[in-house]
């Protein structure tokens, strides 16, 4: 039997329809995108008497490819995670890569055409509690989490593929929200829930694969940060530094949910660092040191860098004014074992709740003619630190906002040079502390081409004194031991800035003042010369990397408190950001002025010139 070209075309069309009907339009598009021709026209040539064999081989090949596409194990490998950012179709980790640079080499959207940026879709997240987590993207699917839901969304259309509700225990006392990002690896989506569960969902269906409870809400623990997968180990942290808790990190088997190790951030008596806690007391059992953000990872050194929070209580008397390791510190952890390779303590004897939890940026920069592996953090205490990430030694530290509790960081000792603020505070005086926080728990960006850090900063002090009427410590309850308040603010007060700064020298390239409301949005830098960020009042912005000038803005429906991502799909660059007022401080400052309600906004250039 001979088949004409027209008949061959009909057969090809019918087979394409079968593949699309049985396996879905997405699978057919993926096959077509990779130029996998189902049945070539040569198969029907009059010169090919074996056309039936060719057709059958192609059908079997197609079936095999579809099976591979649908296989549960078809997901992110360790190699893909380690090289996140090289394939611009995917965003596999928070901050566009393990190094947490929040930088993209994409430049299709740039300073010359950003005015043509328009929304292409918007998707509700069915949530009024806050959108602080960034999306992740893999093979044309976007994964989104918040305190109430987990979603899979088609990046091309914004249509929901699946959604899974978060189950919260009745004993939970905290507002349910999530920071970080949806963590994806080997066909699974990992996340924590506010009531101290870590779980794995099937990336294809959203169905729960495993679920582990790792702490008790009644003891003051809760969870908001994003886990990471490093060298095949899933690592998660915990919140609760204002309660009677002892911080920790957990390592998990991502396939089974089996706990592999636990690393407490407060050493027990006899362990290294225990000499920084009072002897013959149980202060270490409730000493704080939460791990409520996420971590960075250097695959070459095989080290995870994870910051810890404040010492508990803030009143230092119970801690005898000692350094209280490993609170307000950066820990370098070996992911397979949880062993501490090295550490740096930003704020010994933290009495101001300035923490050290922000994810450090990992970069390789030239210092005095030598290429150095560094990590950079804009600490809440108001200083920006550059550390050698091979040994956690201090290289540089400069104030990036107004600071009055310390005059400098001693480069020889690595310790802050204290002013009289701490002495007056411990004597019982109400003191004004600058800053209350340098930034508000959002990622900064680093452009390797400019060598600059881009951050949003806060310009608000805190008034604090030891509370003589503080309630006795009670397990699971807030026991800071201090009375703190914010001074009255005037409408014209500058409450924060968008900032570009050289982390090695402390030189500021530009600083854009913010009035009315500070910002709780992260920063995204691109090779197009743009910095994407947002305002608490709901504007999503593109700033000129050179000057900080706003080149484009779009008003979303609620506050922008997350960090944008950018990626390509079918050769077109997209920018996506979550909108939705949430988080304790953003809600405190913005609730009266900004409506709640979560959504995901995706933008691309309007066609034309």
pLDDT-wise least confident of 20-34, 237-251, 526-540 = 20-34
Q: What average pLDDT score do residues 152-177 get?
A: 96
Task: Find the mean pLDDT for residues 563-574.
Answer: 97
Q: How high is the pLDDT of residue 474? A: 81
- Read off the tokens for 192: 């924590």
Q: 570 CB contacts (<8 Å, ≥6 apart)?
A: 33, 156
Distance set, CA 89 to CA 84, 133, 137, 567 (Å): 10, 20, 8, 5
Q: Examine the residue annotation and report whether 302 is marked as an active-site residue of this protein.
A: no
Least Cα distance to 59 among 87, 31, 84, 38 occurs for 38
Other CB atoms within 10 Å distance of the CB of residue 509: 16
* Choice among 298, 353, 355, 358 that is catalytic: 353
How much is the pLDDT for 476?
84
Residue 568 has a pLDDT of 98
Give the model's confidence band at 79: pLDDT under 50 very low, under 70 low, under 90 confident, else very high.
Answer: confident
* Pairing mode, strands 524-526 and 103-104: parallel
pLDDT winner (highest mean) among 482-496, 543-557, 585-599: 543-557
Low-confidence winner among 2-6, 322-326, 330-334 (lowest mean pLDDT)? 2-6
Which residues are registered as beta bridge partners of 453?
446, 501
Q: What per-residue confidence (pLDDT) applies to 51?
A: 46
Q: Both tokens of residue 114?
A: 């950003």
The torsion angles phi and psi of 215, rounded to 5 degrees, stand at -160, 170
Contacts of 556 (CB under 8 A, 6+ apart): 534, 538, 539, 540, 577, 579, 599, 601
More confident residue, 463 or 67: 463
Give the pLDDT band (50/70/90) at residue 34.
Answer: very low
- Using one digit for the tens of pLDDT, what is the confidence trace for 94-134? 999 999 999 999 999 999 999 999 999 999 999 999 999 99
78-605 CATH = 2.140.10.10
Which position has the higher pLDDT, 584 or 495? 495
Cis? peptide before 313, omega within 30° of 0? yes
| Cα dihedral 474→358→328→339 (10° resolution) | 100
Q: What is the mean pLDDT of residues 411-422?
A: 97
Residue 478: the pLDDT is 83
- The b-or-e profile of 240-257 (16+ CB within 10 A means b, else e) is bbbbbbbbbbbbbebbeb
HSE-CB at 16 with a 13 A cutoff on CA atoms is 16
Summarised one tens digit per residue, pLDDT across range 450-461 is 999 999 999 999
CA neighbor of 426 nearest in space, from 344, 310, 276, 313: 313
571-580 pLDDT per residue, tens: 999 999 999 9
Has residue 55 got a pLDDT over 80? no
Q: According to the model, what pLDDT value does residue 1 have? A: 45
Neighbours of 42 (CB within 10 A): 11
Per-residue pLDDT reduced to its tens digit, 368-396: 999 999 999 999 999 999 999 999 999 99
């Amino acid at each position: 039997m001979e088949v004409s070209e027209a008949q061959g075309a009909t057969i090809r069309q019918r087979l394409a329809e079968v593949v699309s009907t049985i396996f879905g339009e997405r699978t057919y598009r993926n096959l077509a995108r990779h130029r996998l021709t189902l049945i070539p026209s040569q198969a029907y040539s009059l010169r090919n008497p074996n056309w039936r064999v060719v057709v059958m081989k192609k059908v079997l090949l197609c079936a095999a490819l579809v099976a591979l596409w649908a296989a549960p194990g078809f997901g992110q490998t360790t190699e893909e995670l380690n090289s996140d950012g090289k394939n611009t179709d995917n965003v596999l980790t928070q901050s566009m890569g393990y190094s947490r640079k929040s930088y993209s080499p994409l430049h299709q959207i740039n300073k010359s055409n950003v005015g043509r940026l328009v929304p292409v879709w918007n998707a509700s997240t069915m949530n009024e509690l806050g959108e602080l987590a960034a999306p992740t993207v893999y093979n044309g699917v976007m994964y989104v989490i918040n305190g109430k839901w987990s979603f899979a969304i088609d990046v091309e259309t914004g249509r929901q593929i699946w959604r899974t509700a978060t189950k919260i225990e009745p004993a939970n006392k905290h507002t349910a929200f999530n920071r970080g990002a949806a963590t994806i690896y080997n066909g699974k989506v990992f996340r924590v829930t506010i009531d101290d569960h870590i779980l794995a969902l099937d990336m294809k269906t959203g169905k729960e694969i495993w679920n582990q409870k790792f702490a008790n809400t009644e003891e003051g623990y809760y969870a908001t940060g994003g886990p990471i997968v490093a060298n095949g180990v899933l690592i998660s942290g915990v919140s609760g530094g204002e309660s009677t808790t002892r911080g920790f990190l957990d390592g998990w088997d991502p396939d089974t949910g089996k706990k592999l190790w636990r690393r407490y951030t407060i050493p027990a008596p006899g362990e290294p660092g225990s000499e920084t806690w009072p002897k013959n007391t149980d202060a270490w059992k409730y000493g704080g040191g939460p791990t409520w953000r996420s971590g960075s990872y250097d695959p070459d050194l095989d080290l995870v860098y994870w910051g810890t929070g404040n010492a508990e209580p803030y009143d230092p008397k119970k801690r005898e004014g000692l350094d209280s390791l490993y609170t307000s510190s950066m820990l370098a952890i070996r992911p397979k074992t949880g062993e501490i390779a090295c550490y740096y303590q930003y704020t010994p004897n933290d009495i101001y709740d300035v923490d050290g939890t922000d994810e450090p940026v990992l970069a390789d920069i030239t210092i005095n003619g030598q290429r150095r592996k560094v990590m950079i953090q804009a600490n809440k205490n108001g200083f920006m630190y550059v550390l050698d990430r091979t040994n956690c030694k201090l290289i540089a530290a400069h104030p990036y906002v107004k600071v009055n509790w310390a005059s400098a960081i001693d480069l020889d000792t690595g310790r802050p040079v204290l002013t009289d603020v701490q002495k007056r505070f411990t004597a019982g005086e109400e003191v004004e502390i600058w800053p209350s926080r340098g930034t508000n728990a959002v990622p900064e960006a680093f452009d390797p081409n400019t060598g600059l850090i881009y951050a949003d900063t806060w310009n608000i002090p805190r008034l604090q004194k030891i509370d003589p009427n503080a309630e006795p410590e009670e397990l699971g309850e807030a026991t800071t031991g201090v009375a703190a308040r914010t001074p009255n603010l005037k409408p014209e007060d500058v409450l924060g800035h968008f900032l570009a700064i050289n982390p090695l020298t402390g030189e500021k390239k530009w600083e854009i003042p913010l009035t009315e409301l500070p910002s709780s949005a992260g920063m995204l830098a691109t090779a197009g010369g743009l910095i994407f960020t947002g305002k608490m009042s709901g504007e999503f912005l593109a700033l000129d990397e050179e000057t900080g000038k706003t080149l484009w803005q779009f008003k979303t429906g609620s506050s922008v408190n997350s960090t944008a991502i950018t990626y390509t799909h079918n050769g077109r660059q997209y920018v996506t950001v979550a909108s939705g007022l949430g988080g304790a401080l953003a809600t405190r400052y913005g609730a009266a002025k900004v409506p709640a309600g979560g959504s995901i906004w995706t933008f691309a250039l309007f066609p034309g010139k």
